[in-house]
Amino acid sequence: AQTVTQSQPEMSVQEAETVTLSCTYDTSESNYYLFWYKQPPSRQMILVIRQEAYKQQNATENRFSVNFQKAAKSFSLKISDSQLGDTAMYFCAFTEYSGGGADGLTFGKGTHLIIQP
């Protein structure tokens, strides 16, 4: 079974700073997908960024980027120029590629990120 570990329960940084959230995972699969989701107090799940395991290039979405280290099974999220609206729970998630339809996500326990003004 796959597991996803987020070792930082809570982080706090000043506005405009850069912050990195860590995530490691364990799987025996060679083809899979990784995601970072944001859950603000409204509890809506918002996709931040995704990465296909077969792609070596790290994904980037505006201020958000990942450092994907497949051999180390590490998938960290970097948020640059952090904003107050980035305050939320951040979940790292994993799903394997089954060759058919979609599969369910395995989530880490989350990191509560607080951006201080």
Partner 1 sequence: GAVVSQHPSWVICKSGTSVKIECRSLDFQATTMFWYRQFPKQSLMLMATSNEGSKATYEQGVEKDKFLINHASLTLSTLTVTSAHPEDSSFYICSASDGPSNQPQHFGDGTRLSIL
Q: Which residues make up the interface to partner 1 (CB under 8 A)?
A: 32-33, 35, 42-45, 47, 50, 52, 91, 95-98, 100-110
The percent helix, strand, coil of the chain (3-state, each to 5) is 5, 50, 45
The tokens for 82 are: 């952090």
Residue nearer to partner 1 on the CB measure, 69 or 98: 98
Shortest CB 16 distance to partner 1, Å: 28
Residue nearer to partner 1 on the CB measure, 85 or 99: 99
Residue nearer to partner 1 on the CB measure, 33 or 86: 33
Task: Kindly list the distances between the CA atom of residue 43 and the CA atoms of 39, 73, 89, 95, in Å, as whole numbers in the listed order.
Answer: 5, 28, 9, 21
Distance CA(53)–CA(42), nearest Å, equals: 30
Shortest CB 76 distance to partner 1, Å: 18
Residue nearer to partner 1 on the CB measure, 99 or 117: 99
Could you tell me if 49 and 59 are in contact, meaning their C-beta atoms sit under 8 angstroms apart? yes
Shortest CB 6 distance to partner 1, Å: 9
